[in-house]
Amino acid sequence: MATGTKVVPDTHQDILTKTGFAHLATIGPAGEPQSHPVWYAWQDDELLISTTKDRQKYRNLKGEKRVAASITDPDNPYRYVEIRGRVTTMEDDPNMEFIDSLAQRYMNKDKYPYTQPGDQRVIIHIRPEHAATMG
């Protein structure tokens, strides 16, 4: 099976480098879907997101590694890429470096301002297996 940039057509690679929102869909313990917007980064042919270990999406991903993410082009909402794939790694982010890099990208702030005491952040690595596009 193809991976990474081989999956996402060149015509839509630019969306992955823009500052948009990925609507991440996970599968809950009873088979129910859950979807919500997240910040993301595209790095080394993987979609990366940040979450805390107390979030439902983290618990969902511990049990079911399959995900889907749709990302609309922030410059043209009628153009998008949908990625279906699997979580390959859930990496601890104890120094909050990844979420801080996202805060810099999305908010122009050096530190993520919503960190709570005791937050345990992880970086979710998603390897694309299929992509669909429009526009």
Q: Could you read off the pLDDT of 36-78 as tens digits, one per residue?
A: 999 999 999 999 999 999 999 999 999 999 999 999 999 999 9
Q: Mean pLDDT for the chain?
A: 94
CA dist 14 → 6, 87, 89, 99 (Å): 14, 22, 24, 22
Structural domains of the chain in order of their starting residue, each with its CATH number: 4-134 (2.30.110.10)
> Under DSSP, is residue 40 helix (H, G, I), strand (E, B) or coil?
coil
What global pTM score does this model have? 0.92
What 3-state DSSP class applies to 14? helix
**pLDDT score at 82:** 98
Integer Cα distance of 29 and 8 in angstroms: 29
SS3 content of the chain, % helix, strand, coil (to 5): 20, 45, 35
Provide the 3-class DSSP secondary structure of residue 18: coil
